Structure 1
């Protein structure tokens, strides 16, 4: 749970910086956000969460 909240906050900050910097338009950011929500409902979501947890474990042990 703490990992997903941290990743969510980090990615939200990245999106805000990209929108403010003009690299990504608001419509594109909203489309990517909606895609993420629908992608989370698929069968690949557990594999992605496991991969992120493994990556976080690897980074914290280094």
Structure 2
């Protein structure tokens, strides 16, 4: 749950920055949000979740 919430916050910040800096139109952001909402209800959603979880684990395991 924490990973998904932080992912939502991170993606929200990225969309906001695109909207402010790169000229992302509100209609594009709305369509992207709808796409994500409907994608979450498909059969591929568990695969996406597993992939992002494993990527987060990989990035979390990097030692500098």
TM range (shorter): over 0.9
* Structure 2: gaps spanning 5 or more residues: none
CA-CA distance at 1:22 after TM superposition: 4.0
Provide the secondary structure at the position in 2 that maps to 1:24.
Answer: coil
- Using the size of structure 1 for normalisation, the TM-score is 0.95
* Structure 1: gaps spanning 5 or more residues: none
- Using the size of structure 2 for normalisation, the TM-score is 0.92
Greater RCO, 1 or 2 (C-alpha within 8 Å, sep 6+): 1
Greater fraction helix: 1
Query: What is the root-mean-square deviation of aligned Cα atoms in Å?
Result: 0.8
Task: Name the count of aligned residue pairs.
Answer: 62
